[in-house]
Structure 1
């Protein structure tokens, strides 16, 4: 049976406004958040724990908006795994992740949540 040992969440706000044709143009994504899963007791690999990550849109006041997991850092897999297109959920022995949010011609608010499960 799995036990929820820890969870943490946060909010991501992104906005962009253009003055019509010719700019100004924003960078994609308009906002990023880097989260490191540390300062908590995580059992050693190869098993015994798993991290789940979820993201979602909470409010959209824009022509278009999106939020997603851009990349994750997993135990023992070398460089970060990058998602294209962005993912809305990720699972595994994850030590950190990057969330991206983008709004076009307006503003958006999104959320992220990660949980540490042990068994």
Structure 2
């Protein structure tokens, strides 16, 4: 797998500035993110190749999420203050599926675990 240049899109998160879920970043700095290699740009998907590492022939992982203190390479800003995904529109499926109540600004069990890991209270809901 080759590393390509990556352009972060900060404006993608600006539409969510009032949503506590999409500006928190705790989930992006708490969990391992594995996904199908078919989601990579080079394979016809949308995830920039330079932000992923190959795990198996069929699986990739977001860079930075396989550490004792994970932090996705696409995460911008400081967790709990002003953080967001630099590739929000192109994020992999596990990120899209995490926190399905996010558009409502509500957390769930996974969100609460991620926020607790960073000393943050759970979101309402």
**Does TM, normalized by the shorter one, top 0.5?**
no
Larger Rg: 1
Q: Which has the higher contact order (CA 8 A, sep 6+)?
A: 1
Which is richer in helix? 2
TM-score using structure 1 length: 0.31
Which is richer in strand? 1
